[in-house]
Amino acid sequence: MPRKKKSAAVEELPPAEIVDQPITETIETNYMPYVMTVIVSRAIPAIDGFKPAHRKLLYSMYTHGMMTGGYVKCATITGDMMHLNPHSTDANYDTLVRLTRDYGALLHPLIDSKGSFGKHYSSDMKAAAARYTDARLEKICAEIFRGIDKNAVDMVPNYDNTTTEPTLLPTAFPNVLVNPNMGIAVGMASNICSFNLAEVCDGTAALLKNPNTTAEKLLEIIKAPDFSEGAQLIYDRDQMLSIYKTGVGSVRLRAKYRFDEKENCIEIYEIPYSTTIELILKKLTDLLKEGKLKEVTDFRDEIGLSGFKLAIDVRRGTDVPKLMEKLYRTTPLEDTFRCNFNILIDGAPRQLGIPEILKEWIRFRIDCYRRELTFDCERKEEKLHLLLGLGKILLDIDRAIKIVRETEEEAMVVPNLMEGFRIDRVQAEYIADIKLRNLNREYIINRIREIESLRAEIADMHAIIEDELKLKAEIIKQLTEIKKKYGQPRKTEIIHAGDIADVTEDDLVENYAVKTVLSREGYFKKITMQSWRGNDEQKLKDGDAILSCHDAENVDEVLFFSDKAQVYKCRLSDFEPSKASSLGDYIPSKLNFDDGEGTLYMCPVKEYRDDINIVFIFENGKGVKVPLSAYETKTNRKRLTNAYSASSPAAAAFIETEPFDIIMFSDGGRALVTSTANIPMKATRTSQGVQLFTLKKDQRVISVKADPASVSENPSRYRKNKLPSTGTALSDADSGTAQMKML
């Protein structure tokens, strides 16, 4: 098929010219404007406590008269908002939802709502469509907009120059700290927690009275963050003070619960602000599947009209406080809120502590209030000016009427009044507009009486405007009124670390009796007693044999001694229960042994006592006892080097609670039986010990057993009470089958 010819109307463009440009210049010209737009116009809140979208929404609602009157459909609100915020109505609706009372994200909601708006503590509960929900502004918004109609803040054109909008809202209280805010920009983020309104008002008043108020003093007034979800805050004064000073840090929050003894059920009724019920339920499900919550039989979401509720059914006899500590440590029932007080100040992001934030707000509020007073003062001065003109016609009302009556042209009425009474055009216009019925002495005298009160009010206003101390006093008065009107008790309870039950790691681990088995090749099993009684025949690799076997409890620690003079520490609870029919965990891999390092011995430890010892027998015939307490560490160290002497390879190790007999075999065909009571104790782990078995040159101890009768028909033949000893030559019987068992 022939190819179509190009249309004559289509012109071929010349190839684009490629221009070399440094990457720094590309970023500066192409990327940085985007970065600054995200930071300034989208993600980071300003000193009034609002991001641009929040500010546009509230102002749109304010201009449409939603401070008073009934509820308005949210679809209408988000549509009206488009003339200030030309994003999708869905995005505008999401902005509205977060500020509502029903959603519950704010300590002091700014929008009174009616309908289903979802919940902050649930990621699955979504708001109903905007056509089904209604909203209006909360009464506290009167303080948010105080003075906005009196030139308190700058107004700028909206995106299409059809109207104007405020650059900031003149909040009469530090909303930036009262309601939480989170935003992720480019290269920076902001995460501001909420504080109690009454405490913030008191703290701001203290700073207004004394600008040198320290963070330590503010910490006594503004005690800690206060969240809309309530819960408990674990108080750490040093950490809190660091947040107040730097604006960075984290606070720990934990859920509140009550126990219903009748139903044997734990009821969680407040959770940390930073988590959701879905995250908690998922973690509980995972723990239950893994068998780590044997105390719990069931759990369910019981959120209803009464509010949040998570029910956890527990087994009879469960220690509830201990179980809750376990849940706090393993689920989001205890969570962390990370603070990052990044705020736009004069259009630039700054990370500030609490005193600096309040000082910046005070500077902002003083400017707003001064502008508001200036606006009122100018209006009163204008009124005073009119009344002064009215006062000039009081002496001769008839003359004023005569001037108006005798003026032939309407346009000359004002000029004639100006000339007749020596007044300016504004005053003359005002007098000319007075109704005929009001041109009487009584009306004029009553109006003129306002002159003195107006002069006094204007003088007072000028005194306040020109004196910053008086401005601050007025702001303190406003804060006191706001605290009295809108203040509420703390929702988040402050608890100290000392108030929390002292629960150890062992308390959080389910305890039960186990058998511990280690093979010579390094395979380890933790077997429950029920499984052990069912089958005590251990599965091993060909050529492998059991090296050590002990009774223990699941909460015990376990020491693994390697053949490179190191000991590895862990907890038995770190291992999953095994069956006798399985090989178990390969310890060198599980505990990250060094290359070429193998296992020597294993022993469980309940407590590190001085009267319990580890006995080491070395290939050079020496032996030593080291107290078990020598392996106790204050920190949670996983590996100890120099666990025993490395001057000669270790042939065997044993744990000694009381003396017992051992039998040692050399590769020279000799054996020696002695008691561990004859082996000296050394306090130093790396001690070489003393000679027990005297060996010829190039000979070594090849095996040591703790039960001589299990490998010898006549162990008394090899007993030596005087040490060191060359031992006794093996009998023919012991050189055969018994020797095979021994090795």
Which residues are catalytic, by number? 132
Token match 């934030």: residue? 357
CB 685 within 8 A of CB 638: no
The CA distance from 226 to 196, in Å, is: 5
The count of residues in the chain is: 743
The CA distance from 67 to 551, in Å, is: 74
DSSP letters along 425-443, please?
HHHHHHHHTS-GGG-SHHH
The CA distance from 420 to 401, in Å, is: 11
Q: Beta partners for 313? A: 265, 298
∠263-229-186 over CA atoms, to 5°?
135
283 burial (CB, 10 Å; 0-12 / 13-18 / 19+) is middle
Structure tokens at 695: 């060996």
90 burial (CB, 10 Å; 0-12 / 13-18 / 19+) is exposed
Give the DSSP H/E element, type plus range, for residue 401: helix 397-406
Q: Which residues of 250-281 are buried (b: 16+ CB within 10 A; e: fewer)?
A: bbbbbbbbebeeeeebbbbbbbbbbbbbebbb
Q: Which of 480, 561, 578, 470 is nearest to 524 (CA)?
A: 578
492 burial (CB, 10 Å; 0-12 / 13-18 / 19+) is buried
Sign of the Cα torsion 411, 417, 422, 426 reads negative
Q: Which of 112, 86, 116, 87 is nearest to 100 (CA)?
A: 112
The CA distance from 345 to 168, in Å, is: 11
Kind of pairing, strands 296-301 and 310-314?
antiparallel
The CA distance from 722 to 725, in Å, is: 7
Token match 């150890």: residue? 504
Give the DSSP H/E element, type plus range, for residue 455: helix 450-466
- As a 3-state breakdown, the chain gives helix, strand, coil percent values, each rounded to 5, of 35, 25, 40
CB 621 within 8 A of CB 691: yes
Q: Beta partners for 560? A: 568, 602
What Å distances lie between residue 156 and 1, 35, 151, 368, CA to CA? Answer: 62, 22, 12, 16
Strand order in the sheet with 256-260: 256-260, 265-270, 310-314, 296-301
- The alpha helices in 186-298, defined as continuous H runs, are 197-209, 215-221, 237-246, 277-289
CB 676 within 8 A of CB 656: yes
The CA distance from 743 to 741, in Å, is: 5
DSSP letters along 72-87, please?
EEHHHHHHHHTTT--S
Kind of pairing, strands 111-114 and 342-345?
unpaired
Helix axes 237-246, 354-392, angle to 10 degrees: 50
Phi and psi dihedrals of 626, rounded to 5? Answer: -120, 130
Structure tokens at 353: 């502590």
Structure tokens at 444: 């004029």
